[in-house]
Amino acid sequence: MADRGVAARKAAVFLLDQVLGEGRLLPEVLGAGAVDALPADDRARAQRLALETLRGLERADRLLARHLRKAPPLHVRNVLRLGTVELCQGGAAHGVVDALVNVVAGHRRHAALKGLVNAVLRKIAAHGPEAWPALRVPRMPKWLRAPLSDAWGAEAIAAMERAHFAGAPLDITVRADPASWAARLGGTVLPTGTVRVPDAGQVSALPGFDEGAWWVQDAAAALPVRVLDPQPGERIADLCAAPGGKTMQIAASGAEVVAVDTSPTRMARVADNLARTGLRADLRVGDALAETGRYDAVLLDAPCSATGTLRRHPDLPFAKDGSEFAALIALQARLLRHAWTLVAPGGRLVFCTCSLLPDEGEVQIDEALADLPGATADRAALSRPGIAADWISAEGGLRLRPDFWPDAGGMDGFYIACLRKAQDG
């Protein structure tokens, strides 16, 4: 019997169970091999279905509440959620319903609920697609929405939530000739130089991937290295380097890069990507706080809340609750001050976080400028192609948000600042 999408949907429901039931992040689950046994196209489909379901979860639950007297077990609820999102986004009713009934029918504990799944999803298929667009854009959870609203205001938060719900196109950094690769891949070159490819499909099957001509990297994530502006022959430290996109950018410039990260698994991925692209870096598995030496420049992509990445990682609000923020902010401050000791006189430090919280960006730099010897904010470093003047914040950093470039597909939330050390520092 043909699979009819059962395997991919079964895997997608497992991913949802892990995020919504176990509080695990999708990269952690995927890194543990959750979908590795599937063919490449099914792996991609399972991940896409899980991500789309997480983005549309609030809407799905509102529609399902009309047809459920009580909540079924989480696994079955996640089957219904996935089916609701798929049906309301244009999935063929017969194929979706049949596949998901088979997913439940094959479950050891919940097979008896296959009739419920069949009945509810057929009702969703009949009325859900019409009701779906009228529902509000899904909101961030209160633990995250409240501090972001305080920082950016209600109008900006609503715009960010629209960007989160829309998801993210594929962004790539190319080693050379972005215009040529954009034409070949059916994409466009963004004002900052990143190539954006809509509806890319399976990344590893795209032209140029195997040859290492480019790597996946959100447009915002590519900007810290553009601000750093590495030069051939410079010695540069990339602290907290994994997954390695910025390491490859620095290496491609001709600079000598030392990449440091605590995770052996993630650094193995960096090594694989360097091998694919033919780039070289000195990879060191260890604590950035223990790194010593002197560098012409240091890039610190500090561990953070990752609240700027929800358009690509909608699992985050469901797997976290904000309780780790204080510890992360304290760690960022320690890393920033240690990184400063590695910068040679006259050198520069680029600090960045993929966070929307000012405490992980603007506040960190405000405090650093007050107590780091010989430090000044290098505003000129932020004058890069595609950077709008109103993205530059009062203390001299660069604030990026998901609601920027709304007509082009948005960007991740990021904060970036370049600190210059005095010659006698």
Radius of gyration of the chain (CA): 23
Beta-bridge partner residues of 258: 237, 282
Q: Would you say 399 and 415 are in contact if contact means Cβ atoms under 8 Å apart? A: yes
The CATH topology of domain 169-217 is Alpha-Beta Plaits (3.30.70)
Task: Give Cα 158 to chain centroid, integer Å.
Answer: 19
Task: Give Cα 197 to chain centroid, integer Å.
Answer: 16
Query: Percentage of the chain with pLDDT > 70?
Result: 99
Architecture per CATH, 6-134: Orthogonal Bundle (1.10)
Q: Would you say 18 and 24 are in contact if contact means Cβ atoms under 8 Å apart? A: yes
If one counts every other C-beta atom within 10 angstroms of the C-beta of residue 11, the result is: 22
Q: How does strand 170-174 pair with strand 195-197?
A: antiparallel
Mean pLDDT for the stretch of residues 41-55: 95
- Residue 297 DSSP class: E
- pLDDT of res. 376: 97
**CA–CA distances in Å: residue 34 to residues 8, 10, 243:** 11, 11, 19
The values of phi and psi at residue 149, to 5°, are -65, -40
| Secondary element (H or E) of residue 345 | strand 343-353
Q: How far apart are CA 377 and CA 247, in angstroms?
A: 23
Among 305, 307, 361, smallest CA distance to 336 is for 361
The residue extents of the domains of the chain are 6-134, 169-217, 219-421
DSSP letter string, 180-210: HHHHHHT-EE-TTS-EEETT---GGGSTTTT
Contacts of 176 (CB under 8 A, 6+ apart): 213
- Residue 289 DSSP class: G
| pLDDT tens per residue across span 91-102 | 999 999 999 999
Among 282, 274, 413, smallest CA distance to 352 is for 413
Residue 88 is a catalytic residue = no
- Residue 137 DSSP class: P
Q: How far apart are CA 338 and CA 224, in angstroms?
A: 19
pLDDT over 80 at 2, yes or no:
no
- pLDDT of res. 425: 67
Mean pLDDT for the stretch of residues 304-332: 95
- pLDDT of res. 1: 38
Burial class (CB in 10 A: 0-12, 13-18, 19+), 275: exposed
6-134 against 219-421: fold identical: no
Cα 368-338-333 angle, rounded to 5 deg: 45
Q: How far apart are CA 59 and CA 65, in angstroms?
A: 10
**CA–CA distances in Å: residue 42 to residues 168, 204, 320, 403:** 20, 13, 27, 31
Specify the length of the chain in residues.
425
Q: How far apart are CA 413 and CA 307, in angstroms?
A: 7
**CA–CA distances in Å: residue 95 to residues 6, 121, 206:** 10, 11, 28
The CATH topology of domain 219-421 is Rossmann fold (3.40.50)
Q: Cis check for the bond before 169: say yes or no (omega within 30 of 0).
A: no
pLDDT over 90 at 29, yes or no:
yes
Q: How far apart are CA 75 and CA 16, in angstroms?
A: 8
Among 290, 281, 233, 231, smallest CA distance to 258 is for 281
Active-site pick, 88, 352, 354, 418? 354
Among 321, 324, 323, 318, smallest CA distance to 74 is for 318
pLDDT over 70 at 377, yes or no:
yes
Q: What is the chain's mean pLDDT, rounded?
A: 96
Burial class (CB in 10 A: 0-12, 13-18, 19+), 363: middle
Q: Where are the beta strands (DSSP E) in 43-177?
A: 170-174
pLDDT over 70 at 280, yes or no:
yes
- pLDDT of res. 227: 98
Both tokens of 258, joined, read 């030392």
Mean pLDDT for the stretch of residues 66-71: 94
